[in-house]
Amino acid sequence: MRPINRRKYPYHPHQPIFENVLDTYAEYRTDASPLFQGGVIFYGFYMNDFNFNRIFVVPDGCLHLVVCCHKEHPSANICGSIFKGRQGVFVRSDCEYFVICFMPGYAEFFLKYPIGEFSEMEIPIQEVFPHAAELLERVAEQTSFAGRIRAFEAFYLKHFRDGLEVPLLVKYLTEKIITLRGALNVKELAQDTGYSSRYMLKTFEKFVGVSPKLLGRIVRFQNVIYSLEHKHYDETLDRIFEMGYFDQNHFIKEFKEFSFVTPKKYIQQIDSAHMLMNGNGTPIVR
């Protein structure tokens, strides 16, 4: 089992509705951070009444800490990996949100709980994390996305000091799955690592929250999203076998499971989102 050496974490999950609909959306990757080593992505956005019930999330294999930065009543939920697309659940509208997205395998180091326990769940951080009140106060008192990132870094340094870590087996498996773009064989992975399939699956689900097979499907879906947004639909359709789908029906069925809509409908929605106007009648600028 040889480590996969990369300068950047080789996976960039997308939440396309956030990226294409919210004009306040911002993100920051931590590839160059000695603390997070690409294992965290920060997101920021403002949620208004208009978008409060329109935002949908899709599976990305990550655990998210979603902070509502209300000055007087800040709150946060730990949102585990989801297996199907769903409507986003937010504490309140007219609020700025700050999201810490932990890449597959990295959240266990921060939360000290098996990540599989959070899958398909949204749990108030106070029920799990001993320093929740301090974290919420530090983040919510900031007035900018950059300030909240710095506040989280300072909080992390105070309570953790060392950089995020992930077991070598989990790191190898996740990077292998990502490098293969979701096309994997669990038995071959077990043979490759030298561990039994049972031990490999148990360890993987503890740190990632989903099985290697499901993460593979999610990574494949995320790659399709990228392809649809950067290439023509027909060109993506020509590559479905290369991406690991059996046929067109398999491709459409799995895409709809993760996103609610067919690939063609998805493209139409994204095109419409790009043409949305904000309240002042000016185009949304991403």
- CB crowding 126-146: b at 16 or more within 10 Å, else e: eeebeebeebbebbbebeebe
Judge contact between 263 and 228, C-beta under 8 A.
yes
User: In angstroms, rounded to a whole number, what is the distance separating the alpha carbons of residues 195 and 176?
Assistant: 15
* CATH of the structural domain 168-273, one choice from 3.40.50.300, 1.10.10.60, 2.20.25.90, 1.10.1660.10: 1.10.10.60
Output the CA torsion 245→247→249→254 (10° steps).
0
In the chain, where the domains are located? 16-159, 168-273
In the chain, which stretches have pLDDT less than 50? 1-7, 277-286
Cβ burial of 191 (10 Å; 0-12, 13-18, 19+) is: exposed
Q: Which pLDDT score is estimated for 280?
A: 37
Predicted pLDDT of residue 7: 44
What is residue 286's predicted lDDT score, i.e. its pLDDT? 28
By C-alpha distance, which of 67, 77, 27, 72 is closest to 47?
67
Q: How far apart are CA 251 and CA 15, in angstroms?
A: 19
Q: DSSP string of 122-146?
A: EEEGGGT-TTHHHHHHHHHT--SHH
pTM over 0.75: yes
Give the model's pLDDT for residue 110.
95
